Amino acid sequence: MNKDKIGSVMVVGGGIGGIQAALDLAESGYHVYLVEKSPALGGVMAQLDKTFPTNDCSICILSPKLVECGRHLNIELLTYSDILDVDGEPGNFKVKIRKRARYVNELLCTGCGICQEKCPWKTDSEFDASLAKRKAIYVPYLQAVPNIPVIDKELCAYFQKGKCRACEKFCPSHAIDFEQVDQFIDIDVGAIVLAPGFDEFDPKPMFNYGYSRYPNVITSIQFERILSASGPYQGELLRPSDKKLPQKIAWIQCVGSRDVGCDREYCSTVCCTYAIKEAIVAKEHSSAPLDEAIFFMDMRTQGKDFDKFYNRAKEEGIRFVRSKVYRVEEVDGTGNLAIKYVTEDSKIASEEFNLVVLSVGLQPSQEVVDLARRMGLQLNKYGFCSTSPFSPVETSKPGIFVCGAFSGPKDIPETVMQASGAATKSAAFLAPARKTLIKEKVYPPERGVSSEEPRIGVFICHCGINIGGVVNVPEVKEYARTLPNVVFAGENLYTCSQDTQEIIKQMIEEHHLNRIVVASCTPRTHEPLFQETIREAGLNRYLFEMANIRDQCSWVHRDHPEEATQKAKDLVKMVVAKASLIQPLGELAVGVIDKGLIIGGGIAGMTAALELADQGFECFLIERGKELGGNLRRLYYTLEGIDTQEFLQKTLRKVEQSELIRIYTGTEIKEISGYIGNFTTTIKINGRAEEEVLQHGVIVVATGGEEYKPSEYLYGRHNQVLTQQELERKIATGDLKGGEVNSVVMIQCVGSRTEERPYCSKVCCSQAIKNALKIKELNPSCNIYILYKDMRTYGFREEFYTQARSQGILFIRYDDENKPEVTCENGRLRVNILDPILDEKLVIDSDLVALSAAIIPSENGELARMLKVPLNEDGFFLEAHVKLRPVDFATDGIFVCGLAHSPKPIDESISQAIAAAGRAAIPLSKGYVSVEPIVSKVSAEKCIGCGLCESLCAFNAIRLKMTPSGNKAENIPASCKGCGLCAASCPQQAITMCHFTDEELMAEVNALAVV
């Protein structure tokens, strides 16, 4: 059976989820077909201006991934294509695809854009959410991959009326082909990953908000486009009706979410945080002070560091109005809008704004729902793909996996985690067929440049208006031309786009360039992309330098265009001076020990271990405690009512029975050394005298977290004050008799969202509702009061919140100024709380008080130090990038998952653990890692063997070695991290750092010398 499995995977959907899944699979040894129904990859993320909570530029972080997908040898793009049918069986599916006619020959088109310029026919641009126009022949957006236009047959005059053909006439490469027809292709794949994303809710039918009647009522995605520098107003904050700067903007939350009226009971999870982001970013775009208000019910900023973002918005003066908006009306003749709403204390109010943004919810697209039905997948009542909390990336059919918003509304990092998770599951499912269908990348041979004089090409980026709006790019270009060794200088709208990569290669060829300088954004994100491009053009990757004229110039000197232009020139001059000296460096490959180390034996750690084992890799599972299981041992049922103990037992059995997992309980980690591919970990098992040494290639950190032991609300002083975990145990073990409790008070955010711990613990709202509903089962007449700050039952958890209210559970909101008070009167608990709806003090006598206590991180400091990875302010591990690298650390070969990363429910811990294991499996399956050749180099001639470098190096990467001419220092490239401390310290100045040599750095210093 196994031998029949096919080593290729179809990924459906070209948004960030599909892109991540495709890249992970292609890197793990599978051939990938990436199918996207629109003409280009990118999905919704490409439309966003910024991403929360760091306000990273969305297209800037997405663009390198788009390009990587577009150029990956083992990813075959099928854009503008739909899946018609899926046949066959798991491991051997037959997929019927319709590849729509673009009427443009993909092989001939160079993406020059002339056809779009010449085409006379216009319609609303889908990408700009109808705020701008596009032509009948169009590329959806500037950075689109592939950068090949399509002809919109419905609009094209030739197709409709038989004449025009302007595009054909002007196309310099004769790529227009009106004869093209749709192609029908059958593709065999072993597994399918569904990443079709979501549609935004269309607010037209909600008449009361006035969308489509009033031009200044727009959706959140339209507002993203307005904010975007490449959007309809070039990033200027204007409102659609009169293109004037709005001074007052309102956001209305939960449009198409949490609304039984429009059949969408669920919470769309991301809208609260994106509204905050839009409000903060809008302030940055506005020259005048902005008055902004967000009309909301509960502020659901439950993700990692989101509450800090919420607090920042409040500090910046953004108003948060807890309310329900019932109507939006245009104020005659002004284009302004009056928002009519009911306040929390049931008063009717109205306020006028210049612009209203509807925070629209997420829903699956109808086409995808139809496809999923044809595939026979189980969907929930809203059409989202059904998954279990314990197998969050598996559909109801084996061999078909799901990630992203199709299985429920979620943000980018959750989507990326699930995408890596779905890729992991597919990789494990097809493990016997790994590497059977892949092609190896063949680069052209490297051109020898050592005998050539430097010939530098400089590419200066406008970055839309990000740079060009401040820095005079043409002037910088002209200046660059005059610099020594520069033989070519050009300017690009987006230097990172696919078409510019082709231009760079072309220029290298044409001008016989042997050093490339890009002046654009930061090398921290974009250097690898450009290095890959020049390598493809036959240049060594290290013949490349970048000048940061955006992040460190145009963005920070917005009001000083002349000085910024001068600075950009100087930065280019410095880098060109360095580039004249840089040398090609040989890349090194280091073997990988194909074993993993997993730290932490909770559900995240066990899941990661099982996933690695499923892919065929041995792993060591280290648990400090006496037994595996972690927090799962203290949970008995999920919100949906599934037995967690049964799941725990099943998981434990699998882990114990696995031949590839070596379990170490009661074990402490003493020391970790090494680097990706070659780690050495010393462990100490309780009760054993000797320490043991383990060798492995990767590390997964899953050290978990724990429930906070409160000091508040009489906890520990009254035996009827319990934490939610303690209450859950009492309920599950039958300790809590229904008849004994007639009044229960639950207090939320105990130890969370406080000054000491400003983060949200994410699970407690659902946990409280889960336990409250269980108590109601035991005693339907029990009065239950849940005292909360914001009910954060995001996603489909909202249904249980609705159910709880319908069963008579009372929810009373409190804020920091009016916290509840718990007292004990003659042994009986009494809770005092101010009810904001009644505006009255309530006194509740209670049989039991349950505290929804925070999730706090484990003691991670020592481990973080050993691993040399960072923790955030709250003590959780800090990942490499909050959006796009949610399970990686900046240090290669080390990954994170579960509560060690941030508080999260079981399903998210499991997704993340699967993702971490999958990411860890990539180097294991490759069998080698490439080592950056930025290492130190010793001149044996100058070295006198003093040994200072050896004593300074923190990584034992340089040592003295006896040679015929005495002791000489010697570098160990695989251990060298490239800091350059040895070079800066050597008494003989005998050591230098490749790519950061003394000469190169001094050339930068001296480039601006005053003569």
Partner 1 sequence: MATKFEPRILSFLCNWCSYAGADLAGVSRFQYPPNIRVIRTMCSGRVDPVFILGAFLSGFDAVLVLGCHLGDCHYLNGNYHAEKKMHLTQRLLGIAGVNPHRLHLDWVSAAEGMRFAQIVTNFTTQVRELGPLGREESLIQCLKAAKAAVQQEKVRWLVGKELDLIEKGNIFGEKITPSKWETLLNAIIEGEYKKMRITLQLEETPRSVKEIADFSKLSPLEVSSHLTDLEEAGQVRLHSIADRTPKYVRAR
First to last CA, the chain: 77
For 100, 162, 181, the CA distances from 168, given in Å and listed in that order, are 19, 13, 17
Are 579 and 515 spatial neighbours (Cβ–Cβ below 8 Å)? yes
Q: Which residues of 461-499 are buried (b: 16+ CB within 10 A; e: fewer)?
A: bbbbebbbbbbbbeebbebbeebeebbbbbbbbbbbbbb
- Minimum distance between the CB of residue 489 and partner 1, rounded to whole angstroms? 20
Would you state the structure tokens that stand for residue 787, as one six-digit string? 């005292």
The Cα–Cα gap between 571 and 567 comes to 6
Q: Which is nearer to partner 1, 40 or 986 (CB)?
A: 986
What are the strands of the beta sheet with 828-835, ordered from one edge?
821-825, 828-835, 840-846
The Cα–Cα gap between 365 and 815 comes to 38
118: enclosing H helix or E strand: helix 114-118
Q: Which is nearer to partner 1, 614 or 1004 (CB)?
A: 1004
DSSP conformation letters of 20-89 = HHHHHHHHTT-EEEEEESSSSS-TGGGG-SEETTTTEEHHHHHHHHHHHHHH-TTEEEEETEEEEEEEEE
User: Residue 31 contacts by C-beta under 8 Å, 6 or more apart in sequence?
Assistant: 7, 8, 9, 74, 76, 437, 438, 439
The answer to whether the peptide bond before residue 246 is cis (omega within 30 degrees of 0) is: no
Are 847 and 721 spatial neighbours (Cβ–Cβ below 8 Å)? no
Dihedral, CA of residue 668, residue 671, residue 675 and residue 676, to nearest 10: -10
Q: Which is nearer to partner 1, 536 or 570 (CB)?
A: 570
Q: Which residues of 612-636 are buried (b: 16+ CB within 10 A; e: fewer)?
A: bbbbebbbbbbbbeeebbbbbbbbb
- Minimum distance between the CB of residue 306 and partner 1, rounded to whole angstroms? 15
Q: Which is nearer to partner 1, 546 or 844 (CB)?
A: 546
Q: Which is nearer to partner 1, 314 or 709 (CB)?
A: 314
- Minimum distance between the CB of residue 675 and partner 1, rounded to whole angstroms? 13
Q: Which is nearer to partner 1, 36 or 305 (CB)?
A: 305
Would you state the structure tokens that stand for residue 667, as one six-digit string? 């074990």
Are 694 and 683 spatial neighbours (Cβ–Cβ below 8 Å)? yes
The Cα–Cα gap between 530 and 880 comes to 21
- Minimum distance between the CB of residue 557 and partner 1, rounded to whole angstroms? 4
- Minimum distance between the CB of residue 289 and partner 1, rounded to whole angstroms? 16
Q: The tokens 């159910």 sit on which residue?
A: 803
- Minimum distance between the CB of residue 236 and partner 1, rounded to whole angstroms? 15
Distance of CA 327 to the CA centre of its chain: 35
Are 764 and 788 spatial neighbours (Cβ–Cβ below 8 Å)? no
- Minimum distance between the CB of residue 412 and partner 1, rounded to whole angstroms? 16
Q: Which is nearer to partner 1, 28 or 466 (CB)?
A: 466
User: Residue 699 contacts by C-beta under 8 Å, 6 or more apart in sequence?
Assistant: 596, 597, 598, 599, 672, 679, 681, 867, 893, 894, 895, 920
For 391, 763, 798, the CA distances from 639, given in Å and listed in that order, are 15, 10, 11
- Minimum distance between the CB of residue 570 and partner 1, rounded to whole angstroms? 5
DSSP conformation letters of 631-667 = GGGG--B-TT--BHHHHHHHHHHHHHH-SSEEEE-SE
Would you state the structure tokens that stand for residue 562, as one six-digit string? 């002349």
- Minimum distance between the CB of residue 614 and partner 1, rounded to whole angstroms? 34
- Minimum distance between the CB of residue 958 and partner 1, rounded to whole angstroms? 13
- Minimum distance between the CB of residue 995 and partner 1, rounded to whole angstroms? 9
473: enclosing H helix or E strand: helix 473-481
- Minimum distance between the CB of residue 676 and partner 1, rounded to whole angstroms? 15
- Minimum distance between the CB of residue 775 and partner 1, rounded to whole angstroms? 43
Q: Which is nearer to partner 1, 453 or 559 (CB)?
A: 559
Picking from 1010, 990, 1011, 997, the residue whose alpha carbon sits closest to that of residue 579 is: 997
- Minimum distance between the CB of residue 876 and partner 1, rounded to whole angstroms? 14
Are 69 and 357 spatial neighbours (Cβ–Cβ below 8 Å)? no
- Minimum distance between the CB of residue 563 and partner 1, rounded to whole angstroms? 4
Q: Which is nearer to partner 1, 105 or 680 (CB)?
A: 680
Q: Which is nearer to partner 1, 289 or 987 (CB)?
A: 987
Q: Which is nearer to partner 1, 342 or 890 (CB)?
A: 890
Collapsed DSSP state (helix, strand, coil) of residue 231: coil
Q: Which is nearer to partner 1, 48 or 325 (CB)?
A: 48
The Cα–Cα gap between 485 and 481 comes to 9
Q: Which is nearer to partner 1, 434 or 541 (CB)?
A: 541
Q: Which is nearer to partner 1, 284 or 862 (CB)?
A: 284
Would you state the structure tokens that stand for residue 60, as one six-digit string? 């800037």
- Residues near partner 1 (CB under 8 A) are 54-57, 284, 522-524, 548, 550-553, 555-560, 563-564, 566-567, 570-571, 574, 868, 870, 890, 934, 946, 948, 951-952, 954-955, 977-981, 983-989, 993, 996, 998, 1001-1002, 1004-1006, 1008-1010
- Minimum distance between the CB of residue 938 and partner 1, rounded to whole angstroms? 15
- Minimum distance between the CB of residue 573 and partner 1, rounded to whole angstroms? 9
Q: Which is nearer to partner 1, 695 or 1006 (CB)?
A: 1006
Q: Which is nearer to partner 1, 632 or 884 (CB)?
A: 884
Strands 595-599 and 618-622: parallel
Distance of CA 592 to the CA centre of its chain: 27
Q: Which is nearer to partner 1, 259 or 316 (CB)?
A: 316
Q: Which is nearer to partner 1, 53 or 197 (CB)?
A: 53
- Minimum distance between the CB of residue 520 and partner 1, rounded to whole angstroms? 12
Would you state the structure tokens that stand for residue 595, as one six-digit string? 């074993």
Would you state the structure tokens that stand for residue 908, as one six-digit string? 């998210």
Strands 348-353 and 400-402: unpaired
